[in-house]
Structure 1
Amino acid sequence: MIVREATAEDVDAVVALRIESERWLHAAGIRQWTDRERGIRIIRDRIAVGGMYLVIDEDGTAIASLTLSGPDPDFWDSRDEPDSALYLYKLMITERYRGTGLGDELLDWACEQAEARGKRWLRLDCWRDNQGLQRYYLRRGFEHVRTMVVEGRDSGALFQRPATIRTATSRYLSTRNAPC
């Protein structure tokens, strides 16, 4: 498998991952990602400016995506030294690979990208009421920084882990995945 930056030609593949993720969340009783049109707009916009990555399997099928970018100013401010981190958004993995360790490996890959950019932390925000997701990140070396309530936002549980931490035991990703 390889990780590469998504292009305009990949919009449909990323949207398909988003729709699959929405369905999985809703089936699990998690009220998250309910505005599909907004989600598709965000995907298109992010691909246009860069920073969204796609994981492609040996058959050329998109099986995961994630975004690496700067801080969300609604959550991270000067007390956090926002430039000391790379920020992870919208990690999505197709059902076939959920629970296989690919997510752990992608978190390690994101940490490698943070280190390559001279960043100390990999940070993320997740939904305040998604306790399962928060536990997932805690088990993977993230620490809870704080939880914020911002009007109009359901996210706000803030996490970070040192960019030097690696937790994956699986080896799906090719060593050809050069830092971005």
Structure 2
Amino acid sequence: MPATFQDVNWLDIFFIILLLGMVYKGLKTGVSGQILSMMGLFVLIFVSIGYYGLLSEAIFGFLLQGWAKPLSFFFIGITIFIVIRVLERVFKIVGEEELATIERVGGVLVASFRAFILFGVIGIQLLLTPLDSMHLSAAEGSKVCMFFVNMDAQIYSWMTGTIGVFRKEQKDEVLERILVSTKKR
């Protein structure tokens, strides 16, 4: 086996499979079929990163300290994901008509960006999980995971400044909050 493939982390392989699947869906649905999903991912980032700490304290208190934050992040994320899927089914945009080439190319680009955001969310979840092997795979083993976690932290930072619900958090503050919670195991 070539040395290039021996150093590939399981997360990187997972991301490539996820990217290919989402790009294929983007090719089939075009840009218009992914607008709702894209908006939903921005909501998912904002709510998950903004409220997982509060939810973990409210529900778990001092119980299960190592698992409270990752479970809260997961529950928020999966709830928003389910709501997005239900809304997509209700507002099915793409019909059976033939899509223009520019619509398909745009769909591929939007799907790629969605995959990048989703992989950042998965990376944050793995960083919060109190299993050393998961944390090491995300933080050090994967070649791309921390890039996408940084990208999601930057998006959250931009959203806090734009929406104004919270005080504007810098990307480094967001990352510190995520990484500090992983050190408190």
Provide the TM-score with structure 2 as the length reference: 0.27
Higher alpha-carbon Rg: 2
Of structures 1 and 2, the one scoring higher in RCO (CA 8 A, sep 6+) is 2
Provide the TM-score with structure 1 as the length reference: 0.28
Which structure has greater helix proportion?
2
Which structure has greater strand proportion?
1
